[in-house]
Structure 1
Amino acid sequence: MTITQDQPAEVLNLISPDVRALLIRDVRKDWPDLTDEMGERGVSQLVAFLATSTATNEPLTPSLRVDLFWHRFLRRSVPYLAFSRALGVDYIHHVPDDSEGGADPEGGRSAMAAATAAITALGFTVDAEFWPGMGAAECSQCHAGCTDSPVKK
């Protein structure tokens, strides 16, 4: 699938309601106060991020909240692989930054701005609660350096 600005709603539906419910349940293990409504929004931000990552060769970095959903989705490999393939790629790789030196907050802000700009450019809505610098998530976010793979094979 080639993603265009008129298809975000279609892409958001690539994760079934059953898998959405499982992901929300899984994320609650680390985020016990997560409501169903916030969980639905989190899955939507995950979808927007992953779909956008398939539309560029530049690595994109998720916020920590989006990354939490991504980690849980990766553990459900069958729907994750089906989702990746529905977007026209074999697999969207999660590439952690293993370099030493710890978090880079300034680099993180820059990476988040690039990711949210790319998400918006494809016509998805960016939810400020899930992206630092845009809303409530800012106070608890740092840049851990995870990205998607710039090579989508």
Structure 2
Amino acid sequence: MTALATEQVNGRTLVSDELFARLTDFCAEEYGLEPSAAERVMEQGLAFLDTMGRSGEGLSPSKLVDPAWHTFMLHSAEYTAWCEERFSRYIHHAPKSRYRDKATMVDVVGRIRAAGYIVDESLWGTKADCNEPTCCGDGPCC
């Protein structure tokens, strides 16, 4: 069977298996996540970073995906080399530079999906059963 050009890929394919394992282990330990949750966060974070890096636009990660970016940046040699290799520039992180409301996250998710990546909606606050504003990352109970 031939793969379709529109087939989506996982963000974990953007780094070596060894680096992905180190990032996931660090993310799990640093943020108190179960290993499987840390893997999902890292997969989404890598897809997010690649989408942002290729577009050249500043995008915001969700609160649940942001730890992936922090984790990768703390592996500074690998992160710097990855950015230079993929985008010929370093992608800086400017905390709180954009809002994380549902509309912003829907836009980011759409861009990640359009870039060809699998999206884990549960990490972006964009699931259809979201009850705004309390469960989308922008309400007082989040």
Give the structure-1-normalised TM-score.
Answer: 0.70
After superposition, residues 35-114 of structure 1 pair within 5 angstroms as 35=35, 37-97=36-96, 108-114=101-107
- By how many angstroms is 1:95 displaced? 1.1
Aligned positions, number: 132
Within 2, Cα distance between the matches of 1:41 and 1:11?
A: 9
Deviations 1:30-65 (A, max 9, x none): 432423x33222221111101100122432110112
Equivalent pair of 2:12/2:20 in contact (CA under 8 Å): no
Within 2, Cα distance between the matches of 1:93 and 1:76?
A: 14
Residue type at the aligned position of 1:21: A
Instruction: Specify which structure has the bigger relative contact order, considering alpha-carbon pairs within 8 angstroms and separated by 6 or more residues.
Output: 1
Give ranges in structure 1 of 5+ residues lacking alignment: 144-153
Give ranges in structure 2 of 5+ residues lacking alignment: none
Within 2, Cα distance between the matches of 1:10 and 1:108?
A: 25
RMSD: 3.1
Cross-structure match for 1:19: 19
